């Protein structure tokens, strides 16, 4: 995987982790509505799986297990962003404070996988870390 993708993935995962730490300590949140707080916390397992697998894959660079970890982590991150955006669409809420980060979580992993596995010299998919 290209270094720029790995760096961006690292920043994204660390930012994602920082969000959850800040949320756990009450620094940021989704507001006083108990339903929204429960909805937000319902993402914890998915988000921690994405973060953990992504950081593990990045830390294990060069090892055979690294690529499968990254290939699982990126779609989990994308799914988290997509689920949040679907929720906001259903509620009819379009706050840039929530849309921009979730659009990033949705789109970056898709683009990263396309770029990472595209061999421009042959226009074929390659599977290397």
Residue range 59-118, pLDDT digits in tens:
999 899 999 999 999 999 999 999 999 999 999 999 999 999 999 999 999 999 999 888
Q: What sign does the dihedral 68-49-7-103 (CA atoms) show?
A: positive
In a domain, 48, yes or no: yes
In a domain, 118, yes or no: yes
pLDDT score of 68: 95
In a domain, 32, yes or no: no
Closest Cα to residue 109, out of 80, 70, 75, 83?
75
**pLDDT greater at residue 121 or residue 13:** 13
3-state class (DSSP) for residue 118: strand
Task: List pLDDT tens digits, range 94-109.
Answer: 999 999 999 999 999 9
* Mean pLDDT for the chain overall: 92
In a domain, 86, yes or no: yes
Q: What percent of the chain has pLDDT over 70?
A: 91
Number of folded domains that form the chain: 1
- State the residue range of the domain holding 79: 3-27+44-125
């Amino acid at each position: 995987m290209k270094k720029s993708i790995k760096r961006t993935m690292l920043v994204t995962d660390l930012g994602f982790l920082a969000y959850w730490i800040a949320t756990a300590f009450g620094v940021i949140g989704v507001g006083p509505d108990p339903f929204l707080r429960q909805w937000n916390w319902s993402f914890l397992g998915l988000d921690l799986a994405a973060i953990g697998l992504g950081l593990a894959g990045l830390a294990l660079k060069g090892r055979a297990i690294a690529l499968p970890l990254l290939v699982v982590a990126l779609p989990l991150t994308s799914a988290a962003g997509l689920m949040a955006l679907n929720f906001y669409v259903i509620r009819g809420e379009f706050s840039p404070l929530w849309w921009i980060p979730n659009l990033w979580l949705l789109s970056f992993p898709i683009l990263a996988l396309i770029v990472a596995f595209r061999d421009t010299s042959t226009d074929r998919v390659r599977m290397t870390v």
